[in-house]
Amino acid sequence: MQTLRRTPLYERHAALGARLVPFAGWEMPVQYTSIVAEHRAVRTSAGVFDVSHMGQLTLTGDGAHDYLQGRLSNDLDRIGDGYAQYTLLTNERGGITDDLIAYRRRADDYLLVVNAANVEADHAALDETDDVSAEWALLAVQGPEALDRLGTAVEPFTFREDDVLGVHCLVAGTGYTGERGCELGCAPDDAAQLWDAILERGVVPCGLGARDTLRLEVCYPLHGNDISPERTPIEAGLGWACALEKEFTGVEVLRRQKEEGPAEKLVAFVMEEKAIPRHGMRVEEGGEVTSGSLSPMLDVGIGLGYVGADHAEPGTRLSIDVRGRPKSARVVKKPIYKREER
């Protein structure tokens, strides 16, 4: 039996009565009170997530820039020092080994924040990096009031070292919810003090359940569901994160696929009948649901899935096989949920 790993905040989660579940080898809170309530807190005020399970790789020194530039899909020269960038680690077939955020501290000094389930695969593909995951705790504070509650400010996709609520942190204007806010990286020993101080500011503790529904509403892909080593960024609609004019692993496959057009595309859809799509359900026109849930903000079933390129235009009708019952859905433009709808 494999032992589940615990973050420095495990006791805090247990004391709050969180429902703890196995996730990528970690024992993580899926919810504290209700996924719907936690989701709404992030959309309307502020919520905090323990995402200390995520992995951190660093690469510092001469050649760091060129090494990563040759292996990550996005162009590190599009950002300056102190900026963060969404990027992909691709394989020889153009498939997505992982999606990650690269933090450019200096031209030859990078921090990569990667998915918990992929730390080993990423470290193997980026063998010159150091795995420093054990040195970091990570809290995501998200929502329209998040920065005010923390008494700090940070622009999207920038970062700096700073003290937040008395704790020395890496403060980054990143997240996975579609809301303003930040992610705070700190030493594991400081995590409980930071967590307590954030909760004292009235920020709502939120679990991975709400994190999943929040990211789905704004159509951020989840690696392992919507993107994988068998799917390319072109199919997944992530061509914007691929600098095809530079050389990186699998780029020839992606250039060819972009020119020819992918056979299948990842689309967002909204149910037109009362039904909730789920991962793995069949799309009757050909294809598969990769993520599905009820949208807590729109109160309808929503999902992401791969369909034939001829069924990918917004407005196209799809039929989802919901445990033997065909249910009607409509392809929509991403994101499914937009702030303006408030």
Partner 1 sequence: MAADESYPGDLKYHSEHDWARIEGDAATIGITWYAQDALGELVHFEPPEQGGSLAKDESYGEVESVKAVSDLISPLSGEVIEVNQAVVEAPETVNEDPYGEGWLVKLRLSDPGEVETLLDVEAYKKLLEEQ
Q: Residue ranges of the alpha helices (H) in 16-70?
A: 35-44, 64-69
Query: Using the rule CB under 8 A, is 290 a contact of partner 1?
Result: no
Task: Check whether the bond before 335 is cis (ω within 30° of 0).
Answer: yes
Which 296-315 residues touch partner 1, going by CB under 8 A?
A: 296
Which 319-338 residues touch partner 1, going by CB under 8 A?
A: 323
Nearer to partner 1, 16 or 121 (CB): 16
Residue type, 71: R
Q: Could you tell me which stretch among 153-161, 171-179, 245-253, 288-296 binds partner 1 (CB under 8 A)? A: 288-296
Nearer to partner 1, 274 or 342 (CB): 274
Helices H / strands E in the chain, number of each = 8, 18
Which of 294, 304, 329, 336 is close enough to bind partner 1 by CB under 8 A?
294
CA distance 122 to 112: 10
x/- contact string, 246-285, with partner 1 (CB under 8 A)?
----------------------------xxx-x-------
CA distance 126 to 58: 10
Residue type, 269: F
Nearer to partner 1, 51 or 275 (CB): 275
Side-chain-facing half-sphere of 25: CA atoms under 13 Å: 11
Query: Using the rule CB under 8 A, is 116 a contact of partner 1?
Result: no
Query: Using the rule CB under 8 A, is 18 a contact of partner 1?
Result: no
Q: Could you tell me which stretch among 34-42, 46-54, 139-147, 254-262 binds partner 1 (CB under 8 A)? A: 34-42
Number of Cβ atoms within 10 Å of the Cβ of 280? 11
Which 194-253 residues touch partner 1, going by CB under 8 A?
A: 209, 213
The distance in angstroms from the start CA to the end CA of the chain is: 47
Number of residues that bind partner 1 (CB under 8 A): 17
Nearer to partner 1, 30 or 312 (CB): 30
Q: Could you tell me which stretch among 27-35, 96-104, 113-121, 283-291 binds partner 1 (CB under 8 A)? A: 27-35
Query: Using the rule CB under 8 A, is 16 a contact of partner 1?
Result: no
Instruction: Name residue, tokens 């309307």.
Output: 44
CA distance 321 to 122: 35
Query: Using the rule CB under 8 A, is 177 a contact of partner 1?
Result: no
Length of the chain counted residue by residue: 342
Which 56-75 residues touch partner 1, going by CB under 8 A?
A: none
Query: Using the rule CB under 8 A, is 20 a contact of partner 1?
Result: no
Q: What is the β-pairing status of strands 264-271 and 325-332?
A: antiparallel
- Cα–Cα nearest to 312, from 278, 247, 261: 261
Using CB under 8 A as the criterion, which residues of the chain lie in contact with partner 1 when the complex forms?
19, 30-31, 34-37, 209, 213, 274-276, 278, 293-294, 296, 323
